[in-house]
Each structure stands twice: as structure tokens, then as C-alpha cells.
Amino acid sequence: MNSTPATTALARPRRRPNLRAALPVVSLLAVLVPMAIIQPNTLSYFGMVMLLNLGVPIVFATLSQLAVITANELDLSIGSFVSLVACIGATLLVQHPLLGWLALAGCVVLYALVGALIELRRISSVVVTLGLSFVWNGAAVLLLPSPGGTSPGWLGALMGFQSPVIPAPLVWTAGIALVAHWLLMRSPLGVALRGVGGNPAAMRRFGWSIVRAKALLFGCAGVFGVCSGLALLGLTTSADANIALRYTLLSVAGVILGGGEFVGGRVSALGAVLGAITLTLASSFLSFLQIAPEWQIGLQGLILIVVLSLRLVFGHRKGQS
């Protein structure tokens, strides 16, 4: 019996839409739509600039956390690290540029060594990075005991860039997202590094060193952390040892909102950027409405709980289908 194209198409199982992968976009729309209804001017050029002004540092911090979670680890020191970078930029990078850049490079190398140590000694990354957060914070206090310092002129000009049509924060965010997506999701090295989190035994059989791979992922996290601290300094024009402590929880929430998982190396660079932007918009809009910071943190937590619940629901339905 000959099968026609029509019967072949009917016999082929219908591919269900991946609703779980769409949750980062749905979460972003769930924040944008009420904003547009309550205050339509927020979607204007200047409204988006004001709301997303501090979004770029949070995006970089989220990508830093993404690199660590790709290795099935967790970084509880990224907030303190970003604060330290801002302090280095506000002091050494202004007074002694060469020493400042060497200090930043040393921080990235130390980050990579921590990743290697975690794998070599089989130590919990939660314990190591929690201890490391005190090291970063102590160094920041030594550099800048009280809020102050200044941003290098070139950094202020870079972060003060204004695009003519599209708001600059959106331009920065789109560029960062595309580069991170290519590096982690499309490049051969990025695919291999994700394999370290997904199936380390197989990667060992292919001749990959897990120690070297985790050192590289933690080094990438350090580079993104440096970018986050410098971007934050360029926007605020001064620094503080505690300026970015909340970035630790925001970065974890951004990765999870973007569809990332703590095991298996299942992450999404584009999703993480969307998650970071969602949290930034929610926080900025609530501040604009003069909502107390305690309620802002509570709402961010509520958003995270709802998204995780929906992911579980969609995952359960997919397993039953």
C-alpha cells in the first residue's frame, strides 16, 4: 500500500511546542505588560533608559553565575567580587592604571584556580565561594574603607554612550547576549564545556581534563565579573565595598528564570539575559513607584517561585505525553 504525503503527515506525531523554553519570554512579558498599563511612558526611549540603566552590570553578573552553574557548581561570591572590581577600578585603575589592570587579571586567575581546586579536592563550591566572598569583601574594604573613588574617564564615556534610536542599555544587552550565546552554545569550545556539566565521564573518555575545564569556566566567570564591576562603576561613577552584594542572589535568580538548572549543564545564555532583564525591570519599576525595598525583594522571590512552579508543571506534562 503506497502512502501519500497526506497520510505520512497524519501518521507523523505532532511536535508539541516547548512551553518550558518559552517561560523566560513569558516572564518578561508578565512584567512589561503591567508596566505599560500602569505607566505607558515607561516604554518610551527615556523610560527604558531609566529602567534598564543598571541592567548591564546585572546581565554580566548573571552570565558569570551561568558559567559556574554550567559546571554543576554555584558561586556565592559574585556579589562581593563585583564590589571588589568596582573598588579596584575606582582607586588603582585611576591612580595606577597598570597596577589596576594587573590586579584585575590576578582576580580572574584566582577565580580560575578556585575552580581547579574545587574539582581537584572535591570540595563543595558553596563552601569555597562562601569563604571567598569574605576574602573579596575584605580586600574591597582595605582598598576603599568608605564609599568614594572615581570612575576612569574612558569608562564613564563608554557607559554614558547614547544611541540615537534604540536605548543604549538595550543595545548593550543585545550585543552581550549574542556574544555569550555564540561562545557558550555555538562555539566548539562552549559545547565541550557544557558537556563537562552534562556528562563529565564521557568528556574524560574523550580526553578532556575536567580540572582544566572547570578552571576555564571559573575563569570565564571571573572575566564576566570584571565586566560587571567596571560597568557598574562607569554608571555610578563611584564605588563601595558593598555596592553589589545583592548581585549574588540576583545572578542565581536570573539564571533560573532563564531556564538554567543546577545539574546537567542545562543552561541558556539568551534565557539568562532575559531573566536578568526581567528582574532589573521589576526592581526599577517598583522603585519608580516608591515601593519599599523589602517588598521589592519579596516580589522578585515571588516571580522566581511562580516560574519554577510553571517549569515543574510543564516538565510533568511533557513526561506524561
Q: Mean pLDDT over all residues of the chain? A: 84
pLDDT for position 321:
54
Highest mean pLDDT among 40-54, 98-112, 191-205: 98-112
Q: For 7-11, 154-158, 173-177, which range has the lowest pLDDT when averaged over its residues? A: 7-11
| pLDDT at 243 > cutoff 90 | yes
Percent of the chain topping pLDDT 90: 43
Architecture of domain 20-309: Orthogonal Bundle (1.10)
Q: For 135-141, what is the mean pLDDT?
A: 95
Give pLDDT, residue 204: 80
Tell me how far apart the terminal alpha carbons of the chain are, to the nearest angstrom.
Answer: 30
Cell of 112: 580560575
66 with 260: CB under 8 angstroms? yes
Distance CA 82, CA 90 (A): 12
- What is d(CA 283, CA 226) in angstroms, rounded to the nearest whole number? 23
All structural domains of the chain with their residue ranges: 20-309
- What is the average per-residue pLDDT within 152-159? 90
Specify the pLDDT at position 101: 96
CA proximity to 75, closest of 187, 219, 230: 219
239 has which bridge partners?
Answer: 148
